[in-house]
Amino acid sequence: MTTTAHNPAVESHGHEHGHAEHHGPRGILNWLTSTDHKVIGLSYTITSVLMLVIGGALAEVIRGQLANPNGHLVTMAQYNELFTMHGSIMIYLFAGPFAFGALANIIVPIQIGAPDMAFPRLNALSYWLYLSGAITMLLGFFVTGGAANFGWVGYAPLSDAVYAPGAGADLWIGGLLLTGFSAIFTGVNICATVFYLRAPGLTLFRMPIFTWNLLVVSILILLAFPILTAGLVMLYADRHLGTHIYSVAGGGVPVLWQHIFWFWGHPEVYILALPFFGMVTEIIPVFSRKPVFGYKGMVFATLTIAALSLGVWAHHMFTTGVVLLPFFSIMSLLIAVPTGIKLFNWIGSMWRGQIWFSTAMLFAIGFVVTFLIGGLTGIYLASPPLDFFTHDTYFVVAHFHSVVMALVLGGMAGLYYWGPKITGYMLNERIGKVQFWLAFIGTQVFTIPQYIVGLNGMPRRMAVYPNDPEWQTLNTWSSVGAIMIGISTLLFVVNIVASWKKHPAGDNPWDGHTLEWFTTSPPPHHNFFRLPQIRSERPTWDHNHPEAKALAHGKEDH
């Protein structure tokens, strides 16, 4: 173990060896060259949380500008860059990679009892593509003309070479292409891992819901992301190769970009959301000491959401006048049904449980409440006449911020829940609870005034707005909420520092249900020294509480 053995016999068997971490380079070089899913997952986690902080900082500047009707914090040109990059960073560089690159990468292989991802090197490639894509996109701030400034949706022709001539736009396209390939490779990897590397006994209907959701997300990634990649290549060709795919002057169709973008963009909403649904579905039952309520219904709800999500893209385009409204309306409304099933199943999982209000559980409940608000307001937007009324106003901004802030709360729940498993140490619960209340109340203070000001007719993406005292009051409140959310995010960083290597977590601090709680914290290289019998979706619970098996409908105890 002193010098790395360059013995060919050991080399060739290195990946099967129980102590493989003793081979190869050490320290930072080990980190950089690692193909261990836990190391890659941690890199993803750190990078994406950093992106959350950067995107959040931009949001604070935006809210600073909007606290007054005639804000002079930034110019109109800078403002356009700010919200474009805020949206782009949050969607492309934080939410997605955090959802399917960070915790998924660490947890999915462990939950199914696998030693690693199916393609560890492809996994490493995914991360490096993601990191280079993120850097590429952020470099836009440092070029002449500034970063991309046409909104995170990049509608043509505003994003073409005539209206967005700067290099910032090209860096935005390049960054998206790189992170897009990263996502596709992760999708391939998770699919292969889930289908081929499950432990003996872990049938599909014994997979934890988090793993189920990630499998479905991976399939959605494979269906949706190549479309975006193709769309971006065509946009690039329009900008630099003289094609006219999206420009009317050359015989192209601008609205084609919207179709392509949203054909990726709406499945993307669920690609972002489903992993967080999965996290919460793991957390709520564990802290209620009950199995997840309606496990099979939960799986079918996930599958239904995924299927419907491929047929709803044009609900972003109701006011274009060029889409078949009733079809996209009913498809969008129907998504409320499986989503509602999930909500009721989360409540059912808590019902008659023994709820332990750890920070993770508080965040999970905060997610459910915030998502309820975001979900209900989404139903309005599925109705074309109501969309004509609210489209491109702050009502829509408030709706999707309720949803994505719910996802942030869910992500925090995931970090507090799995953090001890990943690092081996507990996070401070007291700081965590302060962080939760700030984030939860801040989210509502942030979004609720936006709903009202949107119904009052304030459009989105405005650097300045008419001097209406009511609009100003509402915007000021929204800015206060944004500051609360900002402080809560900083508290998370404080918590990591404050609880650094203080309280060892042990293998199973929460009396968990799934396989990751059966192994050590942090898990060894290749994850397991032994596995329990797997006879349900809760193998660790079954092992620790053999007398308390999940009951089918109508069954009594014992």
Partner 1 sequence: MELTPQPPKGAPAKSRLRRLGAAIALPIAGILLSGCTLPSFGARTPETTTGQSVYHLWQGFSVGAVIIGALTLGLILWAVLAYRRKDDTIPKQSQYHIPLEVIYTVIPVLVVVALFVATVVVENKVLAMPKTDVSINANAFQWGWGFTYKDHNAVAIGNTTETPTMVMPVDTDVKITVTSTDVVHGFYVRDFSFSRYALPGVRNQFTLHALKTGTFFGQCTQLCGLYHSIMYFKVKVVTADEYKVWLASFDTPEGRLAAAQAKKVLAEQMSAHVPVKTEISRGAN
Window of 383-391, 478-486, 488-496, 527-535 that interacts with partner 1 by CB under 8 A: 383-391
Decide: 177 and 117 in contact? Cβ < 8 Å.
no
Degrees (nearest 5) of the Cα angle 441, 51, 368?
A: 35
Q: Does 357 bind partner 1 (CB under 8 A)?
A: yes
Contacts with partner 1: how many residues (CB under 8 A)? Answer: 93
Q: Does 555 bind partner 1 (CB under 8 A)?
A: yes
Q: Does 231 bind partner 1 (CB under 8 A)?
A: no
Using CB under 8 A as the binding rule, the residues of this chain from 251 to 270 that contact partner 1 are 253-255
Cis before 157? omega within 30:
yes
Nearest distance, CB of residue 172 and partner 1, angstroms: 14
Window of 18-26, 40-48, 188-196, 325-333 that interacts with partner 1 by CB under 8 A: 325-333
Nearest distance, CB of residue 338 and partner 1, angstroms: 9
Window of 204-212, 270-278, 343-351, 438-446 that interacts with partner 1 by CB under 8 A: 343-351
Measured CA to CA, the distance from residue 311 to residue 329 in angstroms comes to 10
Q: Does 195 bind partner 1 (CB under 8 A)?
A: no
Decide: 137 and 131 in contact? Cβ < 8 Å.
no
Degrees (nearest 5) of the Cα angle 146, 150, 153?
A: 130
Window of 116-124, 131-139, 318-326, 501-509 that interacts with partner 1 by CB under 8 A: 318-326
Decide: 115 and 532 in contact? Cβ < 8 Å.
no
Cβ distance to partner 1 smaller for residue 304 or 520:
304
Using CB under 8 A as the binding rule, the residues of this chain from 133 to 162 that contact partner 1 are 150-151, 155, 157-158
Decide: 223 and 267 in contact? Cβ < 8 Å.
yes
Length of the chain: 558
Q: Does 31 bind partner 1 (CB under 8 A)?
A: no
Q: Does 291 bind partner 1 (CB under 8 A)?
A: yes
Q: Does 553 bind partner 1 (CB under 8 A)?
A: yes
Both tokens of 232, joined, read: 């971006």
Residue in 271, 373, 412, 422 binding partner 1, rule: CB under 8 A: 373
Binding mask 425-464 for partner 1 (x = CB under 8 A): --------------------------xx--xxx-xxxxxx
Q: Does 197 bind partner 1 (CB under 8 A)?
A: no
Measured CA to CA, the distance from residue 139 to residue 141 in angstroms comes to 5
Decide: 515 and 505 in contact? Cβ < 8 Å.
no
Q: Does 377 bind partner 1 (CB under 8 A)?
A: yes
Window of 36-44, 135-143, 380-388, 438-446 that interacts with partner 1 by CB under 8 A: 380-388
Decide: 512 and 541 in contact? Cβ < 8 Å.
yes
Residue in 18, 25, 165, 466 binding partner 1, rule: CB under 8 A: 466
Cβ distance to partner 1 smaller for residue 296 or 530:
296
Decide: 247 and 160 in contact? Cβ < 8 Å.
yes
Using CB under 8 A as the binding rule, the residues of this chain from 473 to 492 that contact partner 1 are none
Ramachandran assignment for 233, one of left (phi > 0), alpha (psi -120 to 50 degrees), beta (any other): alpha
Measured CA to CA, the distance from residue 159 to residue 150 in angstroms comes to 6
Measured CA to CA, the distance from residue 419 to residue 68 in angstroms comes to 40
In the beta sheet, which residues pair with residue 459?
Answer: 393
Using CB under 8 A as the binding rule, the residues of this chain from 62 to 101 that contact partner 1 are 76-77, 79-80
Residue in 372, 441, 480, 494 binding partner 1, rule: CB under 8 A: 372
Q: Does 208 bind partner 1 (CB under 8 A)?
A: no
Measured CA to CA, the distance from residue 276 to residue 395 in angstroms comes to 23
SS3 state of residue 80: helix
Q: Does 3 bind partner 1 (CB under 8 A)?
A: no
